């Protein structure tokens, strides 16, 4: 049974998630055994097989049920550090893109429609007034400039984590069977880089990428901002909630709460790019073991993304040199997940097809099928 239980203590006390239950090992074993009986050479579908087994384990049944409601939630928030020239775009673009998401004009909308997913955008910390239906969980207008001030107060951090968990509950309670977190926020790769650097003990110059396409001067400003924010965050060490408060942001904290709660609710997640994976690093510390409920959709061009994926021990499904965010990379990988579920659930077994596998050759007179070595 899925549970929405969580305990939230504000101020300096940590947000506590219940212990994470791993995906069902018996269902995974049954799926692996079924893969051996399908009309194909063992292991010939590669990672599609392990991906299908994972979905079966997440659902606790074999064969797995077809995915009926994939839901993308785009977490939007501004960051004070964007005013320091760490992005190729001004902060005002965040609110403009939120409006674009709502009218269906963004890449995430197009990619979601192509694979049968739906999109929800939530305003967590946009530095503008937005429509009531997307700002129910808003924590504040813009997070602080992390090179010289905390991103959030302790209470705002707890509120943002709780907001993300509540959003997850809303989606799972509405029938979502696969979740994707996306993000939109000018400047958000800077706090994300700080989180990854802090949690992987990596130097700033090794985590800082080009983000939206900054030039060399912009990269230098961004590296300096990450360095200064890391220095400010040093007193909180690896404490996940402390890092979110000092050097993260409301949107990152909400994503971390969302990803942790998805594991609590035993709902699989297809991770997107660098910013979402930075939040996932934090989420796995807020709810140890949550990573078992996630698969990495792709590897972005941001150097911090490779570091974060390695820390989580996740191998991405795609590497298409994407760096957009929004959930776009995860959506590009979604058809692979759907294919993995379909092949595991819908392919005939050797017994169903009347195919013999005796003597290292496979043949059937009725079907005219032979899978013996063609050489």
What is the pairing mode between strands 363-364 and 369-370? antiparallel
| Ramachandran quadrant class, 78 (left: phi over 0; alpha: psi -120 to 50; beta: rest) | beta
What is the separation, in whole angstroms, between the first and last Cα of the chain?
Answer: 51
Q: Give the max Cα distance, the chain.
A: 76
E strands, the chain, are 70-77, 118-125, 178-184, 269-271, 294-296, 363-364, 369-370
Q: Residues 23, 275, 123, CA angle at the centre, nearest 5°? A: 95
Burial of 336 from C-beta contacts in 10 A (0-12 / 13-18 / 19+): middle
Q: How many CA atoms lie within 13 A of 358 on its CB side?
A: 3
**326 carries an active-site annotation:** yes
- 341 — phi, psi (to 5°)? -65, -45
143: its two tokens: 């997070």
Helices 216-233, 189-200: crossing angle, 10 deg rounding: 50
Residue with tokens 């990619």: 111
Contact between 79 and 191 under an 8 Å Cβ cutoff? The reply is yes
Instruction: Mark 146-183 as b/e (b = at least 16 C-beta within 10 Å).
Output: bbeebbbebebbbbbbbbbbbbbbbbbeeebbbbbbbb
- 237 — phi, psi (to 5°)? 60, -140
Burial of 234 from C-beta contacts in 10 A (0-12 / 13-18 / 19+): exposed
Q: How many CA atoms lie within 13 A of 64 on its CB side?
A: 35
**Residue of 49, 171, 302, 326 marked catalytic:** 326
Bridge partners, residue 75, by sequence: 122, 183
3-class secondary-structure state, position 99:
helix
Could you give the residue numbers annotated as active site? Answer: 326
């Amino acid at each position: 049974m899925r549970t929405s239980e969580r305990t939230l203590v504000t101020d300096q006390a940590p947000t506590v998630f219940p212990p994470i239950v791993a995906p069902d090992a018996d269902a995974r074993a049954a799926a692996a055994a079924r893969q051996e009986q399908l009309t194909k050479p063992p292991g010939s579908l590669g990672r599609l097989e392990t991906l299908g087994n994972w979905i079966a384990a997440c659902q606790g049944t074999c064969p797995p049920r077809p995915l009926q409601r994939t839901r993308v939630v785009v977490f939007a928030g501004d960051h004070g550090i964007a005013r320091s020239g760490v992005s190729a775009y001004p902060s005002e673009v965040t609110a403009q893109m939120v409006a674009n998401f709502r009218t269906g004009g963004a890449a995430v909308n197009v990619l979601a429609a192509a694979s049968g997913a739906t999109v929800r955008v939530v305003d967590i910390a946009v530095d503008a007034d937005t429509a009531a239906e997307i700002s129910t969980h808003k924590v504040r207008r813009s997070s602080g400039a992390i090179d010289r001030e905390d991103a959030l107060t302790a209470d705002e951090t707890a509120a943002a984590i709780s907001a993300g968990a509540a959003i997850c509950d809303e989606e799972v309670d509405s029938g979502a069977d696969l979740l994707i977190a996306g993000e939109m926020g000018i400047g958000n790769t800077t706090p994300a880089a700080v989180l990854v650097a802090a949690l992987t003990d990596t130097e700033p110059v090794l985590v800082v990428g080009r983000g939206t396409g900054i030039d060399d001067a912009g990269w230098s400003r961004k590296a300096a901002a990450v360095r200064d924010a890391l220095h400010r965050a040093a007193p909180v060490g690896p404490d996940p909630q402390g890092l979110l408060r000092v050097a993260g942001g409301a949107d990152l904290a909400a994503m971390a709460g969302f990803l942790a709660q998805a594991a609590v609710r035993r709902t699989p997640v297809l991770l997107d790019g660098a910013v979402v994976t930075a939040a996932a690093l934090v989420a796995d510390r807020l709810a140890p073991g949550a990573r078992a409920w996630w698969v990495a959709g792709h590897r972005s061009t941001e150097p911090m993304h490779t570091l974060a994926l390695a820390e989580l021990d996740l191998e991405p499904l795609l590497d298409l040199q994407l760096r957009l965010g929004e959930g776009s990379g995860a959506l590009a990988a979604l058809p692979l997940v759907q294919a993995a579920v379909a092949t595991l659930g819908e392919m005939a077994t050797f017994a169903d097809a009347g195919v013999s596998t005796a003597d290292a050759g496979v043949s059937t007179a009725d079907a005219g099928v032979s899978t013996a070595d063609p050489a």
